[in-house]
Amino acid sequence: MIKDLLEDAKRRMAKSVETFKNEIARIRTGRASVALLDGVKVDYYGTLMPLNQMATISVADAHLILVQPWDVSAIGAIEKAIQRAELGLNPVNDGKVIRIAVPPLTEERRKELVKMVRKIAEEARVAVRNIRRDVMDDLKELKKEGEISEDDFFRAQEQVQKITDEFIGKIEKLLEQKEKDIMTI
Protein backbone atom coordinates (compact mmCIF):
# COMPACT_ATOMS: atom_id res chain seq x y z
CA MET A 1 0.00 0.00 0.00
CA ILE A 2 2.66 2.51 1.07
CA LYS A 3 5.05 1.05 -1.48
CA ASP A 4 2.45 1.62 -4.23
CA LEU A 5 2.00 5.23 -3.15
CA LEU A 6 5.77 5.82 -3.20
CA GLU A 7 6.17 4.17 -6.61
CA ASP A 8 3.33 6.28 -7.98
CA ALA A 9 4.94 9.42 -6.54
CA LYS A 10 8.29 8.54 -8.17
CA ARG A 11 6.64 7.89 -11.52
CA ARG A 12 4.67 11.15 -11.45
CA MET A 13 7.67 13.20 -10.29
CA ALA A 14 9.85 11.66 -13.01
CA LYS A 15 7.21 12.70 -15.52
CA SER A 16 7.35 16.29 -14.21
CA VAL A 17 11.15 16.33 -14.55
CA GLU A 18 10.90 14.90 -18.08
CA THR A 19 8.35 17.58 -19.05
CA PHE A 20 10.68 20.26 -17.67
CA LYS A 21 13.59 18.79 -19.62
CA ASN A 22 11.56 18.84 -22.86
CA GLU A 23 10.38 22.41 -22.30
CA ILE A 24 13.85 23.81 -21.72
CA ALA A 25 15.26 21.88 -24.68
CA ARG A 26 13.20 24.12 -26.96
CA ILE A 27 14.67 27.28 -25.46
CA ARG A 28 17.42 28.66 -27.60
CA THR A 29 20.99 28.92 -26.44
CA GLY A 30 23.65 30.65 -28.50
CA ARG A 31 24.33 27.41 -30.38
CA ALA A 32 22.39 25.57 -33.08
CA SER A 33 20.45 22.53 -31.88
CA VAL A 34 17.91 20.27 -33.58
CA ALA A 35 15.83 20.49 -30.37
CA LEU A 36 14.97 24.09 -31.31
CA LEU A 37 12.67 22.75 -34.03
CA ASP A 38 11.00 20.03 -31.89
CA GLY A 39 7.73 21.91 -31.47
CA VAL A 40 7.38 22.94 -35.13
CA LYS A 41 4.31 21.52 -36.88
CA VAL A 42 3.94 21.77 -40.66
CA ASP A 43 0.61 22.00 -42.49
CA TYR A 44 1.12 19.17 -44.97
CA TYR A 45 -1.89 18.54 -47.21
CA GLY A 46 -4.28 19.73 -44.51
CA THR A 47 -2.65 17.74 -41.69
CA LEU A 48 -0.36 19.21 -39.03
CA MET A 49 2.74 17.04 -38.95
CA PRO A 50 5.84 17.37 -36.75
CA LEU A 51 8.76 18.71 -38.79
CA ASN A 52 11.03 15.85 -37.71
CA GLN A 53 8.64 13.40 -39.44
CA MET A 54 8.97 15.23 -42.75
CA ALA A 55 12.66 16.06 -43.01
CA THR A 56 16.17 15.28 -41.92
CA ILE A 57 17.29 17.92 -39.44
CA SER A 58 20.98 18.32 -38.75
CA VAL A 59 23.43 20.80 -37.27
CA ALA A 60 26.08 21.86 -39.78
CA ASP A 61 28.07 23.94 -37.30
CA ALA A 62 27.55 25.91 -34.07
CA HIS A 63 25.37 28.50 -35.82
CA LEU A 64 23.65 26.63 -38.69
CA ILE A 65 20.79 24.13 -38.81
CA LEU A 66 20.00 22.28 -42.04
CA VAL A 67 16.52 20.97 -42.81
CA GLN A 68 16.33 18.61 -45.78
CA PRO A 69 12.71 17.67 -46.61
CA TRP A 70 12.00 14.17 -47.87
CA ASP A 71 9.34 15.61 -50.16
CA VAL A 72 10.84 18.69 -51.89
CA SER A 73 7.35 19.99 -52.73
CA ALA A 74 6.79 20.60 -48.98
CA ILE A 75 9.75 22.98 -48.66
CA GLY A 76 7.58 26.12 -48.78
CA ALA A 77 5.21 24.80 -46.10
CA ILE A 78 8.17 23.86 -43.88
CA GLU A 79 9.69 27.32 -44.28
CA LYS A 80 6.37 28.98 -43.34
CA ALA A 81 5.98 26.67 -40.31
CA ILE A 82 9.44 27.61 -39.01
CA GLN A 83 8.61 31.31 -39.40
CA ARG A 84 5.23 30.86 -37.67
CA ALA A 85 6.89 29.08 -34.73
CA GLU A 86 8.29 32.47 -33.58
CA LEU A 87 11.68 31.10 -32.64
CA GLY A 88 13.47 34.23 -33.75
CA LEU A 89 15.03 32.27 -36.61
CA ASN A 90 15.03 33.18 -40.28
CA PRO A 91 14.96 30.16 -42.62
CA VAL A 92 16.56 30.46 -46.08
CA ASN A 93 15.27 28.10 -48.77
CA ASP A 94 17.44 27.15 -51.77
CA GLY A 95 14.90 24.78 -53.34
CA LYS A 96 16.31 21.59 -51.82
CA VAL A 97 17.52 22.47 -48.33
CA ILE A 98 16.45 25.02 -45.74
CA ARG A 99 19.33 26.70 -43.94
CA ILE A 100 18.61 28.31 -40.60
CA ALA A 101 21.29 30.61 -39.22
CA VAL A 102 21.20 30.77 -35.43
CA PRO A 103 22.42 34.26 -34.54
CA PRO A 104 24.39 34.74 -31.33
CA LEU A 105 22.28 36.02 -28.44
CA THR A 106 22.64 39.50 -27.02
CA GLU A 107 23.41 39.82 -23.31
CA GLU A 108 19.92 41.21 -22.70
CA ARG A 109 18.27 38.32 -24.53
CA ARG A 110 20.38 35.82 -22.59
CA LYS A 111 19.14 37.30 -19.31
CA GLU A 112 15.52 37.13 -20.53
CA LEU A 113 15.99 33.46 -21.47
CA VAL A 114 17.52 32.66 -18.07
CA LYS A 115 14.48 34.28 -16.39
CA MET A 116 12.17 32.20 -18.57
CA VAL A 117 14.04 28.99 -17.75
CA ARG A 118 13.93 29.80 -14.03
CA LYS A 119 10.16 30.35 -14.27
CA ILE A 120 9.71 26.99 -16.00
CA ALA A 121 11.92 25.37 -13.33
CA GLU A 122 9.78 26.87 -10.58
CA GLU A 123 6.65 25.46 -12.26
CA ALA A 124 8.33 22.03 -12.33
CA ARG A 125 9.28 22.31 -8.64
CA VAL A 126 5.69 23.28 -7.79
CA ALA A 127 4.42 20.26 -9.74
CA VAL A 128 6.75 17.96 -7.75
CA ARG A 129 5.65 19.56 -4.45
CA ASN A 130 1.99 19.14 -5.42
CA ILE A 131 2.62 15.44 -5.97
CA ARG A 132 4.26 15.29 -2.53
CA ARG A 133 1.22 17.01 -1.00
CA ASP A 134 -1.14 14.53 -2.69
CA VAL A 135 0.84 11.56 -1.39
CA MET A 136 1.00 13.06 2.12
CA ASP A 137 -2.78 13.53 2.06
CA ASP A 138 -3.20 9.89 1.02
CA LEU A 139 -0.92 8.79 3.87
CA LYS A 140 -2.90 10.87 6.40
CA GLU A 141 -6.09 9.26 5.11
CA LEU A 142 -4.61 5.76 5.54
CA LYS A 143 -3.48 6.62 9.08
CA LYS A 144 -6.88 8.09 9.95
CA GLU A 145 -8.63 4.93 8.73
CA GLY A 146 -6.22 2.81 10.78
CA GLU A 147 -4.75 1.03 7.74
CA ILE A 148 -1.19 2.01 8.67
CA SER A 149 0.47 2.54 12.05
CA GLU A 150 1.83 5.82 13.37
CA ASP A 151 5.42 4.58 12.87
CA ASP A 152 4.74 3.52 9.25
CA PHE A 153 3.12 6.89 8.63
CA PHE A 154 6.21 8.82 9.81
CA ARG A 155 8.61 6.51 7.95
CA ALA A 156 6.56 6.94 4.77
CA GLN A 157 6.55 10.72 5.23
CA GLU A 158 10.34 10.71 5.44
CA GLN A 159 10.58 8.57 2.30
CA VAL A 160 8.24 10.89 0.41
CA GLN A 161 10.39 13.85 1.44
CA LYS A 162 13.58 12.07 0.30
CA ILE A 163 11.98 11.28 -3.07
CA THR A 164 10.82 14.90 -3.41
CA ASP A 165 14.30 16.23 -2.58
CA GLU A 166 15.83 13.86 -5.15
CA PHE A 167 13.57 15.07 -7.97
CA ILE A 168 13.89 18.74 -7.04
CA GLY A 169 17.67 18.17 -7.13
CA LYS A 170 17.35 16.82 -10.68
CA ILE A 171 15.40 19.93 -11.69
CA GLU A 172 18.08 22.14 -10.10
CA LYS A 173 20.85 20.31 -11.97
CA LEU A 174 19.03 20.68 -15.32
CA LEU A 175 18.35 24.36 -14.58
CA GLU A 176 21.99 25.02 -13.73
CA GLN A 177 23.18 23.33 -16.93
CA LYS A 178 20.69 25.24 -19.12
CA GLU A 179 21.64 28.57 -17.52
CA LYS A 180 25.29 27.81 -18.21
CA ASP A 181 24.47 26.92 -21.84
CA ILE A 182 22.52 30.16 -22.32
CA MET A 183 25.14 32.41 -20.73
CA THR A 184 28.11 30.80 -22.54
CA ILE A 185 29.05 32.79 -25.59
CATH 3.30.1360.40 segments of the chain: 34-101
Q: Which residue from 26, 31, 27, 28 is spatially nearest to 52, judged by alpha carbons? A: 26
For residue 150, the SS3 value is helix
Residue 183 pLDDT class (50, 70, 90 cuts): confident
Which residue would you say has higher pLDDT here, 166 or 109?
Answer: 166
For residue 173, the SS3 value is helix
Q: What is the pLDDT of residue 84?
A: 86
Q: What is the pLDDT of residue 185?
A: 62
Specify the amino acid at residue 33: S
- Give the domain 1-27+106-183 fold: Topoisomerase I; Chain A, domain 4 (1.10.132)
Residue pLDDT, tens place only, 50-81? 988 889 999 888 788 999 999 888 888 999 88
Q: Which residue from 70, 42, 72 is spatially nearest to 57, judged by alpha carbons? A: 70
Burial of 96 (0-12, 13-18, 19+ CB in 10 A): exposed
Q: How far apart are CA 109 and CA 86, in angstroms?
A: 15
Q: How far apart are CA 52 and CA 145, in angstroms?
A: 52
Residue pLDDT, tens place only, 28-47? 777 777 888 888 899 888 88
The CB-side HSE value for 98 (13 A sphere, CA atoms) comes to 28
For residue 149, the SS3 value is coil
Predicted confidence (pLDDT) at residue 181 exceeds the cutoff of 80: yes
CATH code for the domain defined by 34-101 = 3.30.1360.40
Q: What is the pLDDT of residue 67?
A: 92
Question: Of the segments 20-34, 95-109, 140-154, which one has the largest average pLDDT value?
Answer: 140-154
The mean pLDDT of 153-180, rounded to a whole number, is 94
Q: What is the pLDDT of residue 85?
A: 81
**Strands lying side by side in the sheet with 98-101:** 55-61, 64-69, 98-101, 90-93
Residue pLDDT, tens place only, 81-131? 888 887 778 889 888 899 998 888 788 888 888 999 999 999 999 999 999
DSSP per-residue letters across 76-116: HHHHHHHHHTTSS-EEEE-SS-EEEE-PPPPHHHHHHHHHH
Q: What is the pLDDT of residue 27?
A: 79
